[in-house]
């Protein structure tokens, strides 16, 4: 086996798992003050559980429960695509901030530690996103664990259609390397900072 191919295989099957576990643990420790503040605010302002659990499609189509900070009222319907606009008015200002900064996704670090997810990989989708799930199955994109961020997220995110998302997801699944993961991480932070929701939030205050 070619040494380059061997190196990629070792990273994908072994080193990446160790890297995920160590980094997720480190991030939880570093971000603990933020997590606690968000938890307390939501605990005081919400009538339901602070941590929201939802079924998502993972590696090889396996369904698992993802963890998020609750930003929607209880019994809010699960809508996909353009239909999501119908439930935006149910989101509080604080919840919008959590969503725009992706802070609501931080509990997924626990999913990474549990082995359901990776730091980098295709975003896990809800079961209702049948078209995207089928495209991922056909392209082989579901051969890797879903991630907190991925190649599609740094190349357009919500602006991409399902075919484009599946294309980027498959591209990543076929070329999982340490270099690729680092580049995606480095491209993710500026994207979060540049989101309209983040700019508007701080513009109003400063």
From first to last of its 206 residues, the chain has per-residue pLDDT tens of 567 778 788 998 899 999 999 999 999 999 999 999 999 999 998 888 899 999 999 999 999 999 999 888 766 655 555 555 555 556 678 888 888 888 999 999 999 999 999 999 999 999 999 999 999 999 999 999 999 999 999 998 778 999 999 999 999 999 999 999 999 999 988 877 665 444 444 444 43
- The Cα–Cα gap between 199 and 186 comes to 19
123 touches 111 (CB < 8 A): no
Q: In this predicted structure, what is the pLDDT of residue 66?
A: 97
DSSP assigned state of 11: I
The pLDDT score that the predictor gives to residue 84 is 54
Q: What is the pLDDT of residue 103?
A: 92
Q: What is the pLDDT of residue 47?
A: 80
Q: 114: how many CB neighbours lie within 10 A of its CB?
A: 14
CB neighbour list of residue 47: distance below 8 Å, 6 or more residues apart: 73, 74
- Residue 53 · residue 98 · CB < 8 Å: no
What single-letter DSSP state applies at residue 3? Answer: H
Residue 198 is predicted with a pLDDT of 46
DSSP state of 142: G
Give residue 87's pLDDT: 54
CA dist 64 and 188 (Å) reads 24
Instruction: Say whether 18 sits in a helix, a strand or coil.
Output: helix
Please list, in sequence order, all residues whose beta carbon lies within 8 angstroms of the beta carbon of residue 141, skipping any fewer than 6 positions away. 122, 135, 166, 169, 170, 172, 173
| Domain locations along the chain | 3-205
Strand arrangement of the beta sheet that strand 125-126 belongs to: 63-69, 51-57, 125-126
Is 167:139 a contact under the CB 8 Å cutoff?
yes
């Amino acid at each position: 086996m070619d040494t380059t191919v061997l190196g990629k295989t070792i990273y994908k099957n072994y080193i990446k798992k160790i890297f995920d576990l160590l980094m997720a643990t480190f991030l939880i420790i570093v971000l603990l003050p933020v997590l606690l503040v968000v938890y307390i605010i939501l605990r005081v302002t919400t009538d339901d559980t602070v941590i929201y659990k939802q079924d998502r499609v993972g590696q090889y189509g396996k369904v698992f429960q993802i963890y998020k900070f609750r930003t929607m009222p209880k019994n809010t319907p699960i809508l996909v695509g353009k239909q999501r606009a119908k439930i935006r008015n149910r989101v509080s200002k604080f919840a919008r901030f959590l969503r725009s900064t992706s802070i609501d996704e931080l509990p997924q670090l626990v999913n990474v530690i549990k082995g359901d997810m990776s730091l980098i990989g295709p975003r896990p989708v809800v079961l209702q996103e049948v078209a995207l799930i089928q495209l991922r199955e056909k392209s082989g994109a579901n051969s890797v664990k879903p991630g907190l961020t991925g190649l599609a997220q740094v190349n357009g995110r919500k602006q991409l259609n399902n075919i484009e998302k599946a294309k980027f997801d498959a591209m990543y699944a076929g070329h999982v390397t340490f270099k690729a993961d680092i580049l995606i991480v480095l491209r993710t932070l500026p994207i979060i900072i540049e989101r309209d929701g983040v700019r508007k939030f701080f513009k109003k205050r400063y």
